[in-house]
Chain A
Amino acid sequence: MNTSPSNRKANAFHAQAKNALNDATLKQALRSATDTFAERRSAAIAAVPDWEALREQARLVKDATVARLDHYIEQFADNAEQAGATVHWARDGKEACAIVQKIAEDNGATRLVKSKSMATEEIHLNKALAERALEPVETDLGEWIIQLAGETPSHIIVPAIHMTRDQVGELFVDKLGIPPSNDPKTLCAHARERLRSHFAQADLGISGVNFGVAETGSILILENEGNVRMTTTMPKVHVAVMGIERVIPRFKDLEVFLRLLPRSGTGQHLTTYQSILTGTDSAQDSANGQGPEQVHIVLLDNGRSKIAVDEKMRETLACIRCGACLNACPVYQTVGGHAYGTVYPGPIGAILTPQLAGMHEAKPLPFASSLCGACKDVCPVKIDIPSLLLELRQRAVEGTDHEPATKRSFFESMSWRMWSWFMRGPKRFRFASAMARLGQRMPLVHRLVPPMAAWHSTRELPRLAKRSFRDTYKGPSK
């Protein structure tokens, strides 16, 4: 199975996961990364006495916002324009890409820089712009590495989590012609130098948005490297791509989210930089080159408005993209982001992708979970991911207005029917247990009979006791 980035598909999850399981380097990298993040997160939240109250508050704010998203997003757009930004509305990814492309062309911009943004990954903005010879240079170190490698991100917060220092070193030797090195500090210094010249010449900067404030039209972007500050300060034009669910009602609500997001994401009490940008800087600043002359905000729907009016699923939109659920998830820890074949991996990806891209694009994902609930426990906005996964499983099987039902395998539905019949009477149950005891003495039966054969290819069924509890309770056997 070819798992080059362009060929990865959510529907090929099983094959991609199998590939990942056979990659010892990847396994090692994932384990150390997810463990490190989980430990840092625990330490960071242990120092916050009112952590639960913060989570509760953030969720209440998000629920109230999503329920009136029409009101808040309109208020955001109006206030952002009032402050001097130009607001664009995009129904889908194609429309959003066309808007960014037009802004670039209207300004004669050819040298584009970009900071990390999941929304732009979601709409494959770089690919769309590359078709017009406008491909932006990624400036987040991890994103730049995977751009050079022709890869896709494997983690929301640490995009190149799947690459070792040796692989990065070889990549830099190959693409940048640097002397051989696998020292992260040296590699980073080369990246700084290269990207500085891009920043100095860029005429358009593209960023994402972590939070948009409805009552003021402000956007907040968090980062550690300084590339967001560069991207939003150096070029004459700044374009921010923002999912419509990024909006929160009030400026002062930012505090709660600032307390939750970095601790959940990287275990920091705050990331190094937060940029709170409201419209354009004063004319004098722009003239002095202290900030961009134009600020554009592209509001992206791409399936979000449908989720907002789906009462059972709308809590999906509370997500603040911290990545904590990825690090906590035993499936993600084992197979990594690429196995999901989607922009959003892990538990959040498994609920987001089938809703954004359509169930037919991502049917295996809601099933790629043991429903252990670790994601729900760490989620800073208390999204009940296991329940949402169950709801999506049901929809995957039964179908919806827009999606066909899954055709069930004959053996599977037969097995469940038999199971339910045997469970409905004590005599039947005793008979079935006796048969099962007999069956497990014949070692090959469960490996050959579908659908048990598929389940058993990687697992052992727990063995039944030689005697049932009921028999033992009656007394010693004679």
Chain B
Amino acid sequence: MSSAREQILGTLRSQPGLKVPPLPDVMTSASSDATPIAERIAAFTAILNKLGAPVDVAPDMTAAATRITEVLAQHNASSLALSDADEVLAIAQTLPATIERIPHDAPRESLLRSHAGLSTAQWAIAETGTLALVSRHERHRLSTLLPDLHIALVPASRMLATLGDAFVRIGPDGAPDAPTITFITGPSRTADIELELIVGVHGPKALHVVIVADA
């Protein structure tokens, strides 16, 4: 035990007579799962659209692949950094051969120069338009951060209603499900110069979500 630790704790314990108010029960918005999936998707889409991020709903993986190809073309993206999710790897095989595929464990340099990144999200939150990435289930820290465009493939079944519902999933038994959990709500942005909103500072300049109904 370091002396700094002892001294800090010592000061904190130096007035044992002070009042100790009780810790209240956790307040949460969880268990509102009754909202139909279609409604959740509509809410999610509305919020993300407002933030400048398009959301598509594809009936199946084939349609999703077509949509992803179109989005890549729209952005003139010819290289795609992949996470290691099964869905991502499967869909990557069906994309046109002209698109260079960069695996998740490629050297940093290739990831840094890739135009687009493709991942899934472990959860999506309708209430806030948020993607929740849980690192234990997928290696997607870099493919969702470095490229200019991030495409997220989200099975509709992962669409949750509220932030509280997400905390139940990412923190089962009150402990985080993975060492790194990242919430993403829209493209990277700043308002640091005269409060003017600029999209795309350090993270992706564009976020595109493709929800797959039957995944």
Interface centre among A91, A164, A196 (most CB of B within 10 A): A91
- Chain B positions 168-215 with a Cβ under 8 Å from a chain A Cβ: 170-171, 174-176, 178-196, 198, 200-204
Digit string of A273-317 for contact with B (CB within 8 Å is 1, else 0)?
111111111100100111100000001010001101101000000
Could you tell me the distance between the alpha carbons of A179 and B74 in the complex, rounded to whole angstroms? 29
Closest to A146 in B: B192
Given A57-B27, A91-B7, verify A279-B179 contact (CB < 8 Å): yes
Interface residue B101 (Cβ < 8 Å from any Cβ of A): no
Digit string of B108-140 for contact with A (CB within 8 Å is 1, else 0)?
100010000000000000001010000110010
Given A64-B24, A160-B193, verify A281-B29 contact (CB < 8 Å): no
Interface residue A334 (Cβ < 8 Å from any Cβ of B): no
Contacts of B204 in A (CB 8 A): 226
Contacts of B182 in A (CB 8 A): 229, 273-276
Interface residue B18 (Cβ < 8 Å from any Cβ of A): yes
- Chain B positions 1-58 with a Cβ under 8 Å from a chain A Cβ: 2, 4-5, 7-9, 11-15, 18-24, 26-29, 47
A229 x B145 contact (CB < 8 A): yes
B18 x A142 contact (CB < 8 A): no
Q: How many A-B residue pairs have CB under 8 A?
A: 239
B14 x A309 contact (CB < 8 A): yes
Given A272-B185, A289-B108, verify A57-B24 contact (CB < 8 Å): yes
Contacts of A290 in B (CB 8 A): 104, 135, 139, 141-142
Of A249-257, A379-387, A436-444, the one with at least 4 CB within 8 A of chain B: A249-257
B179 x A282 contact (CB < 8 A): yes
Given A160-B192, A291-B135, verify A301-B8 contact (CB < 8 Å): yes
Digit string of A204-243 for contact with B (CB within 8 Å is 1, else 0)?
0000000000011010000011110110010000000000
B166 to chain A, nearest CB (A): 8
A67 x B185 contact (CB < 8 A): no
Interface residue B86 (Cβ < 8 Å from any Cβ of A): no
- Chain B positions 73-91 with a Cβ under 8 Å from a chain A Cβ: none
Contacts of B27 in A (CB 8 A): 53-54, 57, 255-256
Could you tell me the distance between the alpha carbons of A224 and B200 in the complex, rounded to whole angstroms? 10
B200 x A192 contact (CB < 8 A): yes
B171 x A224 contact (CB < 8 A): no
B193 x A187 contact (CB < 8 A): yes
- Chain A positions 352-406 with a Cβ under 8 Å from a chain B Cβ: none
Closest to B202 in A: A226
A281 to chain B, nearest CB (A): 5
Could you tell me the distance between the alpha carbons of A266 and B192 in the complex, rounded to whole angstroms? 11
Given A141-B190, A230-B202, A277-B179, verify A311-B19 contact (CB < 8 Å): yes
Q: Which among B136, B198, B203 is the interface contact of A273 at CB below 8 angstroms?
A: B203
B179 x A158 contact (CB < 8 A): no
Contacts of B145 in A (CB 8 A): 226, 229-230, 233
A70 x B12 contact (CB < 8 A): yes
Given A158-B195, A191-B201, A270-B185, verify A216-B175 contact (CB < 8 Å): yes
Closest to A303 in B: B11
A227 to chain B, nearest CB (A): 4
Q: Which among B128, B135, B200 is the interface contact of A269 at CB below 8 angstroms?
A: B128
* 9 pairs of A and B residues whose beta carbons are closest in the complex: A226-B203, A142-B192, A226-B202, A70-B12, A305-B11, A64-B23, A274-B183, A89-B4, A309-B15
Q: Chain A: residues with CB nearer than 8 A to chain B?
A: 29, 32-33, 36, 53-54, 57, 60-61, 63-65, 67-70, 73-74, 77, 83-84, 89-91, 95, 139-142, 145, 158-161, 163-165, 168, 184-185, 187-188, 191-192, 195-196, 199-200, 215-216, 218, 224-227, 229-230, 233, 244, 249-256, 258-259, 266, 269-282, 285, 288-291, 299, 301, 305-306, 308-309, 311
Instruction: List 4 extra interface pairs beyond A54-B27, A270-B128, CB under 8 A.
Output: A225-B190, A251-B167, A251-B174, A278-B178
